[in-house]
Amino acid sequence: MTDGQLYPNILLGGRGGTNPGQLKVHPGGIAWRKQGGGKIIEIEKADIARVTWMKVPRAYQLGVRLKDGLFYKFIGFREQDVSNLTNYIQKNIGVAAEEKQLSTSGHNWGEIDINGNMLTFLVGSKQAFEVSLADVAQTQLQGKTDVYMEFHVDDTTGATEKDSLMDISFHIPTSNTQFSGDENRPPAQVFLDKIVSLTDVGSSEEAVVTFEGIAILTPRGRYSVELHFSFLRLQGLANDFKIQYSSVVRLFLLPKSNQHTFVIITLDPPIRKGQTLYPHIVIQFEADNVVDRDLALSEELLTTRYKDKLESSYKGLIHEVFTKVLRGLSGAKVTRPGSFRSCQDGYAVKSSLKAEDGLLYPLEKGFFFLPKPPTLILHDEIDFVEFERHGTGGSSVASHYFDLLVKLKNDQEHLFRNIQRNEYNHLIEFIKAKGMKILNLTDAQTTNGVATALQDDDDAVDPHLERIKNAAGDESDEEDEDFVAEKDDSGSPTDDSGNEESDASESGGEKKSSTKESKKEAAGVKVPSAKGKTRDADEESSKKRKPKKKKDPNAPKRAMSGFMFFSNAERDNLKKGNPGMSFTDVGRALGERWKKMIAEEKEPYESMAKADTKRYREAMADYKSSAPMDVDPGDDSD
């Protein structure tokens, strides 16, 4: 909507403190969006029952009460905003805003007003404080005149809030006329029964349903997941999290593979573990696991409060059962894969974010990268996207991959790397269909664009590879197809230079040895051999290695292995994600990745290795046939 009034820097008040955001009042209702993305509150015009203004410290507060009892507090308006917004709301929404006053007397006696799910304590018709009954964990009668209320304390308290309301007691004397009773049922008992009828009191002890041994990727561990009436609990060996359903923004059900399915619980505010915040709980279920669960719900609750939301029992795939029950209890919406399909008819494309490999899910309203770090990007938050060639070195393997840069309106950037070339058309068509701005769309559609570069750059030279070869000294023209990690190399090939380095050190040892022998022979000293057979074997080995000492500079470059193509493609990415990584550690990490790759993932690199081997053999045959004379590579004499 283009028409309406927009107010930046408006705080949403709640149990976990205040959250900054942007409020828009338009003819269709009221909308508030959290700053930086996350929680969105949309209030339809027809759902608004009452609007109030209140002067609070340093600002004005707009209160919006809905017909179903919910109440929202928006804080941060200026004095001049009050009259303008009051007139606009009355004209376009049809509700007259009322003025409420805040009690500052400090008196702790007054009256209680219960409206919907809000309890307001009034002192002389002025509001002293108010609490949400949805936050009440339990309540009990103390004596005959006191009612004790305890509030939920979970792990999603706002990051900037150090204090939280734990409990409160109300003293209701027998002479109270607001909650009139009798000798057997005093006013305090009447008040208690009223609170119990409006809250989930008593639901904190018994779970509606429990799922044991669930694998959660963030925060990592195996947990027992308990779903209660108003909250869920994650109980692990080392951690225990309690999360109010009011903090659950959305649920995502995304197939990972034939074996597993992701269920993501998006929170606002997030849970905290030490100094780490977790806005997304990423759960991984086995895709073929069938369960049968009975819910601990009375028939009365099923037919009243949870009518058309929950059933008495469920049987089916565990991720479907879990999602249906959690949706019914929390009221959160569920997002599933949309229209996007990858080249293999999947719902996501393989990519990497920072130093982590994962899956990028293009959804109808956003992108979601999983599993680590779980990153949700809404389409509305995107300024533009840009397709980039993988790397800048010109390696032939670079043409098999590309990068996707997503620039947000708040200037934040996300770079998704190592996306396979055959996913390019699927992604660009999806992004164009969603109306997102593609920065280099014109270039991508020309002959010099990204698509052409991805297809026709197989003959480019990798200067990084040439630098490694020159530094190491290419000692051999033999093929290196079997270059894999040996046991003494900790299972990780470090680099092509490591292999060459060993050859160079052996040659250096021979030169030093022959120099010493020459000096001894020149001095008339005979060099004895400790073991005749060993000396003979060393001499034979020395003769075999002598041809490597002199290399024909005009000979074609030898063929590279599949692992070397993989190393050259991934080395720069690994260094960017880990700037302090040493050369040896980079090689070791690449070797570990190579060993974990399946045959299908290695196939592009092995194909390039075979093509390079064919190239080398043909080039070598042409070179030998055109050679004017035989060269003795083992002759070191002048």
- Average of per-residue pLDDT across 532-542: 49
Cβ-based neighbours of 584, under 8 Å, separated by 6 or more? 494
Computed over its alpha carbons, how large is the radius of gyration of the chain? 35
Its CATH architecture, for the domain 118-198, is Roll (2.30)
**Annotation: CATH topology of 209-335:** PH-domain like (2.30.29)
Is residue 421 within 8 A of residue 350, CB to CB? The reply is no
Judged against a pLDDT cut of 50, whether residue 214 lies above it is answered with yes
Three-state SS string over 40-55 comes to: EEEEEHHHEEEEEEEE
Q: Which of 178, 47, 190, 72 is nearest to 134 (CA)?
A: 72
Q: Which pLDDT belongs to residue 133?
A: 82
Judged against a pLDDT cut of 90, whether residue 217 lies above it is answered with yes
Mean pLDDT lowest among 196-200, 384-388, 392-396, 548-552: 392-396
Is residue 145 within 8 A of residue 174, CB to CB? The reply is yes
Give the model confidence (pLDDT) of 40-64 as tens digits: 888 998 889 889 999 988 899 999 9
Judged against a pLDDT cut of 70, whether residue 537 lies above it is answered with no
d(C-alpha 118, C-alpha 147), whole Å: 17
d(C-alpha 419, C-alpha 434), whole Å: 20
Judged against a pLDDT cut of 70, whether residue 498 lies above it is answered with no
Q: Which pLDDT belongs to residue 298?
A: 86
Q: Which pLDDT belongs to residue 156?
A: 66
The CATH label, of 2.70.150.10, 2.70.70.10, 2.30.29.30, 2.60.40.10, for the domain at 349-455 is 2.30.29.30
Judged against a pLDDT cut of 80, whether residue 313 lies above it is answered with yes
Could you tell me where in the chain the CATH 2.30.29.30 domains are found?
Answer: 5-100, 349-455
Task: Assign 547 a pLDDT band (cuts: 50, 70, 90).
Answer: low
Give the model confidence (pLDDT) of 139-180 as tens digits: 888 888 899 988 776 666 554 456 778 889 999 988 888 888
Is residue 134 within 8 A of residue 230, CB to CB? The reply is yes
Q: Was domain 5-100 assigned CATH 2.30.29.30?
A: yes
Could you tell me where in the chain the CATH 2.30.29.150 domains are found?
Answer: 209-335
- Average of per-residue pLDDT across 315-341: 92
Q: Which residues pair with 252 in a beta bridge?
A: 264, 335
Q: Which residues pair with 7 in a beta bridge?
A: 23
Could you tell me where in the chain the CATH 1.10.30.10 domains are found?
Answer: 463-514+535-626
Amino acid at 64: V
Judged against a pLDDT cut of 50, whether residue 32 lies above it is answered with yes
Q: Was domain 463-514+535-626 assigned CATH 1.10.30.10?
A: yes
Note every long-range contact of 301-305, with CB atoms under 8 Å and residues 24 or more positions apart, other chains counting.
none
Judged against a pLDDT cut of 70, whether residue 500 lies above it is answered with no
Task: Assign 266 a pLDDT band (cuts: 50, 70, 90).
Answer: very high
Q: Helix or strand or coil: residue 20? A: strand
